[in-house]
């Protein structure tokens, strides 16, 4: 009798496991990887708490921290919070909140770069408010938003780059499209959540002023004066200094349903495809061109440019996203970690460092999310493994000075926590912990939810 029962139990157990494996053979592996990404995040965070608590960022090897400006803006805790929430890291969330609510204060006689502070700090606070519900996050974001508003008081309506948080004095009249347009999501969210349209209105006015100055190719250049409206560098590309301007035209439409943005995106997208898209022998890439003539000026593609794969996915252009992804992965596996930039005409590395940027992982994740094609899941695993292998030190994670030698660079940008770790985690995260379909991620990967009608 006893023997019979054991046999039945054994049968049920084996059958149960086999059945579960049939349902999702990768379930177990995903659980293990989700745990490993969380462990990596916690290790990075511990380094911050041990050596840089209360400062902007950590230098794990030197066992110290540093601030961007003369005083801290709590860059790492604010940027890290939304990922802690997605990962369900309660202890770390409590630590970040304690720091933010006891130490974060914007009343400082300090000149800051409004774009970086908007996407990392304002974006982080707004997302934290939506995820966590604590109204102090929103109050801080609103205080910051008010202090940064003077940037829009230029003759053209395009924002100045820098502002003093206490006095409101602005400077930095020479700027770029990214620093003009890539705060539209943050200012828009602030408007929605505070019922005060001023932030979105001012920011959108600057975006439209920039768009109206686009070249004959429908593309924007790299440098412009917000006082005269004149272009100072007419080089068009999707790399740093322009990238998130395009990203926010599409995401602004998706989040706010603003048809002007949709139109601006459609026009820009066609210009990008026509003048920057480049089918080379080494693969499909986006290069540089003159914004008026469309003449190719360089065949450079960089780590930052990789964001465009995610945007193509959001725009439902899977075929182009897949072509670009093959190149992104080629660049990543060239040395085992992606360099900052390459010349795709000969696959020569132009800038050899790796800042633990997220964009390649981001696009791989979007493609996997929308296609569920296993090759992208495998690529995501490879990317995480290479960060584990090359960027990990005994007491944390650091950047890489040169992907040829994998020499360490003892610093860690806050986007390691906000983005790189978040995208790595999402490949393996339990479905119920996060859904990309229910939010729009800002350019710093902070989830924004449409909570209004």
272 or 304: CB nearest ligand DMJ: 304
Burial profile 199-236: b = 16 or more Cβ within 10 angstroms, e = fewer: bbebbbebbbbbbebbbebbbbbbbbbbeebebeebbb
Q: At what angle do helices 243-256 and 184-194 cross, to 10 degrees?
A: 30
Per-position DSSP letters for 312-361, written without gaps between them:
HHHTT-HHHHHHHHHHHHHHHHTTSS--SEEETTTTEEEE--B----HHH
93 or 304: CB nearest ligand DMJ: 304
Q: Which of 56, 340, 419, 444 is catalytic?
A: 340
Total residues interacting with ligand DMJ, rule: CB under 6 A: 9
Among 354, 415, 417, 425, contact with ligand DMJ (rule: CB under 6 A) = 415
Interface of this chain with ligand DMJ, residues 288 to 307, rule: CB under 6 A: 304
40 or 294: CB nearest ligand DMJ: 40
> Parallel, antiparallel, or unpaired for β 223-225 and 174-175?
antiparallel
116 in catalytic set: yes
152 or 415: CB nearest ligand DMJ: 415
Q: How far is the CB of 243 from ligand DMJ (least distance, A)?
A: 6
Element (H, E) at 64: strand 64-66
Among 423, 444, 446, 448, contact with ligand DMJ (rule: CB under 6 A) = 444
Burial profile 413-430: b = 16 or more Cβ within 10 angstroms, e = fewer: bbbbbbbbbbbbbbbbbe
359 in catalytic set: yes
Q: Which of 79, 92, 142, 243 is catalytic?
A: 243
Nearest to 132 by CA among 75, 95, 91, 81: 81
Q: How far is the CB of 341 from ligand DMJ (least distance, A)?
A: 13
Determine if 244 is a binding residue for ligand DMJ (CB under 6 A).
yes
Which residue has tokens 């803006």?
73
Q: How far is the CB of 295 from ligand DMJ (least distance, A)?
A: 27
Q: How far is the CB of 5 from ligand DMJ (least distance, A)?
A: 59
Interface of this chain with ligand DMJ, residues 300 to 359, rule: CB under 6 A: 304, 357-359
156 or 301: CB nearest ligand DMJ: 301
Q: First vs last Cα of the chain: how many Å apart?
A: 64
Catalytic residue set: 116, 243, 340, 359
The contact set with ligand DMJ (CB under 6 A) reads: 244, 304, 357-359, 415, 419, 443-444
């Amino acid at each position: 009798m006893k023997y019979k029962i054991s046999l039945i139990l054994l049968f049920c157990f084996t059958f149960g496991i086999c059945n579960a494996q049939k349902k999702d053979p990768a379930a177990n592996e995903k659980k293990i990887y989700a745990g490993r990404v969380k462990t990596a995040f916690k290790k990075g965070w511990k380094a911050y708490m041990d050596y840089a608590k209360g400062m902007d960022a950590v230098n794990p090897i030197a066992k110290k921290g540093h601030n961007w400006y003369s005083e801290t803006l709590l860059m790492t805790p604010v940027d890290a919070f939304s990922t802690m929430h997605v990962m369900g890291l309660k202890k770390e969330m409590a630590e970040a909140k304690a720091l933010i609510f006891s130490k974060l204060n914007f009343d400082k006689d300090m000149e800051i770069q409004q774009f970086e502070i908007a996407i990392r700090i304002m974006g982080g606070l707004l997302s934290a408010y939506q995820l966590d519900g604590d109204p102090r996050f929103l109050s801080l974001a609103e205080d910051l938003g008010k202090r940064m508003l003077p940037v829009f008081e230029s003759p053209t309506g395009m924002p100045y780059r820098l502002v003093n948080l206490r006095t409101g004095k602005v400077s930095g009249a020479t700027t770029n499209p990214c620093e003009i347009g890539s705060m539209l999501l943050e200012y828009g969210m602030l408007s929605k959540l505070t019922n005060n349209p001023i932030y979105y209105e001012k920011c959108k006015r600057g975006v439209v002023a920039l768009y109206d100055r686009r070249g004959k190719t429908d593309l924007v250049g790299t440098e412009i004066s917000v006082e005269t409206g004149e272009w100072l560098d007419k080089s068009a590309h999707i790399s740093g200094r322009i990238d998130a301007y395009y990203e926010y035209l599409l995401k602004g439409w998706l989040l706010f349903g603003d048809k002007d943005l949709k139109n601006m995106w459609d026009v820009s997208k066609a210009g990008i495809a026509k003048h920057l898209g480049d089918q080379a022998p080494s693969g499909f890439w986006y290069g540089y061109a003159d914004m008026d003539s469309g003449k190719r000026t360089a065949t450079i593609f960089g780590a930052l440019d990789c964001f465009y794969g995610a945007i193509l996915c959001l725009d439902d252009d899977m075929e182009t996203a897949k072509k670009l992804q093959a190149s992104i992965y080629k660049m990543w596996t060239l040395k085992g970690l992606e360099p900052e930039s390459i010349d795709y005409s000969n696959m020569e590395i132009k800038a050899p460092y790796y800042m633990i940027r997220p964009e390649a992982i981001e696009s791989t994740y979007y493609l996997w999310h929308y296609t569920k094609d296993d090759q992208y899941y495998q690529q995501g695993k490879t990317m995480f493994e290479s960060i584990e292998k090359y960027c990990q030190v005994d007491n944390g994670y650091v950047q890489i000075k040169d992907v040829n030698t994998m020499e360490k660079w003892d610093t860690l940008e806050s986007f390691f926590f906000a983005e790189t770790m978040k995208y790595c985690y999402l490949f393996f995260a339990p479905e119920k912990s996060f859904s990309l379909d229910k939010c729009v991620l800002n350019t710093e990967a902070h989830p924004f939810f449409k909570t209004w009608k």
